Amino acid sequence: MIVVNFKTYKEATGYRAIELARICKKIQDETKVRVVVVPQLADLRDCVETGVDCWVQHIDAVDQGKNTGYVTRESVEEVGAKGTLLNHSEHKVTDEALTQILKETETLAFETCVCAADATEAQKWNAFKPNFILYEPPELVGSPDKSVSTEKPEIIDAVVKAVTQPVLVGAGVKNIEDVKVAVKLGAKGVGLASGFVLATDPESMLRELVSTFNRS
Residues classed as catalytic: 88, 136
Contact in structure between 126 and 164 (CB atoms under 8 Å): yes
Q: Are 101 and 61 in contact (CB under 8 A)?
A: yes
Residue 48, amino acid: V
Distance, in Å, from the CA atom of 25 to the CA atom of 36, rounded to the nearest integer, reads 9
Q: Which of 91, 175, 190, 90 is nearest to 134 (CA)?
A: 190
Is residue 130 a contact partner of residue 101, using CB atoms and an 8 Å limit? no
Which contacts of 96-103 are long-range, i.e. CB under 8 A and separated by 24 or more positions?
96/61, 97/60, 97/61, 98/61, 98/125, 99/128, 100/61, 101/59, 101/61, 101/73, 102/128, 102/129, 102/130, 103/128
| d(C-alpha 138, C-alpha 159), whole Å | 15
